[in-house]
Structure 1
Amino acid sequence: MTLSIIHRLKLITLSGLILCSVSILSSEEEKLKFSTTEVAPGLYMLMGVGGFTGGNIGLSVGEDGVVMIDDSMPPMLDIMKTAIATVTDKPVDFLINTHLHGDHIGNNEAMGKSGTWIVAHKSLRLHLLDKGFPTAKGNVPAPKDALPMITFSESMDFHLNGYDAHIFHVANAHTNGDLVIFYKAPNVVHMGDVMFHGLFPYIDVDNGGSVDGYIAAQQQVLALINDKTKIIPGHGPLTNKTDLQTANAMIIDSRNLIAALMKSGKTEDQIVELNPLAKYHDDWNWSFITTERMTRQVYKSLIKGK
């Protein structure tokens, strides 16, 4: 990824958008769109251009129908449909939710009402029933059409459009219900928010995420892929194994630096003051997960894990 792309990504203010909690003015909406990249025959990556459009979307199109991975946010519904229409006029048959955040499942209700079958980890459905569905105004009781109707615990497989897709639950990383989708033959993997390309990751400790789980989840994926694998991250451009290895090494080092200071008796604020992640600031800091917030979330994760 070029420095200019990194710079643009880091200028996008995502604070609160992970929970789908900002409104987007109509003038800004007009500038937003999804770019569509065919990463393998019949497999597409939809990524926002011109501003924040939610997480990256995966799309499988073929003779058996259409499978979509994640569905962005309500303000993006029309431009999402426009992007999908550039590659197929078929309805979406299945929608896979990678995790519970509103920038990835915000259009579940609209998709469900259109007849799409929603697939997710069992914890996501339970979360929506218990905590409600994330909206710009906060959580609301989950509409029936927004709920996954197919759930599982460990893994399941799709055999559609000439591809075998292995969908599996990884260690509790970004949340406690993260899914990764690996298309074996075309060698493409959609990682959801188990990868933020070129950015400090968001570890949602309050919803079951953990730094140790994040490291383990990325290593689960690394064990499956090779140097030719194309990786669709939750946020950021298409990437590869080398970039995932780099990200994983950064998180491991960050975790160990903070753990060592904790072991020496330092408090959270004292560790922040020492700024142990300073060497990563220029390359990984961004508006939502700043270097300070990365430090604090790793600290909180390690405290919670004791």
Structure 2
Amino acid sequence: MKKVLLSALLLLPGLASAQMGDMSKVQVKSTPVAGNVHMLEGAGGNIGVSVGPDGILIVDDQFAPLVPKIRAALGKLTKGKDKTPEYVLNTHWHFDHTGGNADFGREGTIVAHTHVRTRLMNGQELMGMKIAPAPKEALPTITYTQGLSLFFNGEEVQVTHLPTGHTDGDSMVYFTGSNVLHMGDQFTRDLFPFIDLESGGSVDGYMRNVERVLQTLPAGAKIIPGHGQLASREDLERFATMLRESVELVKGKIAAGKTLEQVKAEGMPEKYKDWGSAFIKTEQWLTTVYQGLTGQKPGAVTK
């Protein structure tokens, strides 16, 4: 998917300006999910939106250049009454999910796990790219360690920390009345996920978090993934199966004494061929699993 690849490129601010032409062509599409909740797709992470008498609440906000288009989409949902979120909930710190923070944070309240604030405030290195510290307006002003609830638009919005998974600061957001769960990048439908080992992510932790969600997911819940189409329990179960099979496959090869290069050369089962069609290719996914299981640092030279 081109938009996922673009998301990765735009993590680097210097590249962001170079890609403005592409961003100008991005369309922000709105899809009703259930109850008060809608999903916006553009470039970067999927945005969850709650619209109702209390105003607008959004989960993640993609890239700064898309803010005018996101506002326009929000205006359509409110029939022109409002385009500004009262709350912005960040599922994690990555720039394709927090790029609009500086704009929306001037008028609304940003809420995120404490590690999200720390990483945005200090700047990070991601896949060899230097990410500059975020401006004050982009920083969460309400943080938590385990989770919290907001009561908004007639329902409880439960925000729950998912430890050491995609990063060390991920959260899922459950709209209790609408029965909609936004999982951020703890779930990418029918795509190999990016697990940020440099930001406290963990292959085992990622898998545990997905299993935990499956154990507690209410019947009939709709799921907004970090990337990919709107999903259901069946889609998340398929994703969990891929994670289990990937880990068992690589564990077996490590036990057999195979190197990373051999593991990549042998690949994944044919049924997962299309899962590497977006940003994270099959070789990258196997590299992440191998490094996560062996404790090898990302970027290390292997033979």
TM-score, L = length of structure 2: 0.89
Matched, 1:66 2:65: no
> For residues 223 and 209 of structure 1, what CA distance do their matches in structure 2 show?
21
**Hey, what does 2:104 align to over in structure 1?**
111
> For residues 157 and 209 of structure 1, what CA distance do their matches in structure 2 show?
24
Matched, 1:219 2:211: yes
Matched, 1:186 2:178: yes
2:121–2:135 CA contact under 8 A, matched in 1: no
Gaps of 5+ in 1: 1-8
Distance 1:240 1:10, change over 3 A: farther
- Write the mapping of 1:90-109 to structure 2, written as runs, cut at 5 A: 90=82, 91-109=84-102
**Hey, what does 1:130 align to over in structure 2?**
122
What code does the residue aligned with 1:101 have? H
Shift of 1:29: 3.5
> For residues 297 and 132 of structure 1, what CA distance do their matches in structure 2 show?
19
> For residues 84 and 133 of structure 1, what CA distance do their matches in structure 2 show?
32
**Hey, what does 2:189 align to over in structure 1?**
197
Q: RMSD over aligned Cα, in angstroms?
A: 2.3
2:37–2:49 CA contact under 8 A, matched in 1: yes
Matched, 1:172 2:164: yes
Shift of 1:141: 2.7
Instruction: Give 3-state SS (helix, strand or coil) of 2:226's partner.
Output: coil
Distance 1:36 1:11, change over 3 A: closer
- Write the mapping of 1:268-283 to structure 2, written as runs, cut at 5 A: 268-275=260-267, 277-283=268-274
User: After alignment, is 198-207 or 35-44 more displaced?
Assistant: 35-44
In the alignment of these two chains, the number of paired residues is 290
Matched, 1:264 2:256: yes
What code does the residue aligned with 1:81 have? R
2:25 to 14, 27, 31: 31
What code does the residue aligned with 2:240 have? N
> For residues 200 and 279 of structure 1, what CA distance do their matches in structure 2 show?
14
What code does the residue aligned with 1:105 have? T
Instruction: Give 3-state SS (helix, strand or coil) of 2:117's partner.
Output: helix
> For residues 132 and 305 of structure 1, what CA distance do their matches in structure 2 show?
20
Matched, 1:229 2:232: no
Distance 1:214 1:80, change over 3 A: same
Shift of 1:64: 1.8
> For residues 28 and 71 of structure 2, what CA distance do their matches in structure 1 show?
10
**Hey, what does 1:4 align to over in structure 2?**
none
What code does the residue aligned with 2:280 have? I
Matched, 1:303 2:297: no
- Write the mapping of 1:140-159 to structure 2, written as runs, cut at 5 A: 140-159=132-151
Matched, 1:75 2:65: yes
Instruction: Give 3-state SS (helix, strand or coil) of 2:68's partner.
Output: helix
1:173–1:213 CA contact under 8 A, matched in 2: yes
1:245 to 227, 234, 237: 237
Matched, 1:40 2:31: no
> For residues 162 and 112 of structure 1, what CA distance do their matches in structure 2 show?
23
What code does the residue aligned with 1:207 have? S
> For residues 26 and 150 of structure 1, what CA distance do their matches in structure 2 show?
31
**Hey, what does 2:199 align to over in structure 1?**
207
Shift of 1:68: 0.8
Shift of 1:126: 1.2
Instruction: Give 3-state SS (helix, strand or coil) of 2:134's partner.
Output: coil
**Hey, what does 2:285 align to over in structure 1?**
294
**Hey, what does 2:301 align to over in structure 1?**
none
1:157–1:165 CA contact under 8 A, matched in 2: yes
User: After alignment, is 60-69 or 185-194 more displaced?
Assistant: 60-69
What code does the residue aligned with 2:253 have? L
> For residues 170 and 220 of structure 1, what CA distance do their matches in structure 2 show?
9
What code does the residue aligned with 2:102 have? E
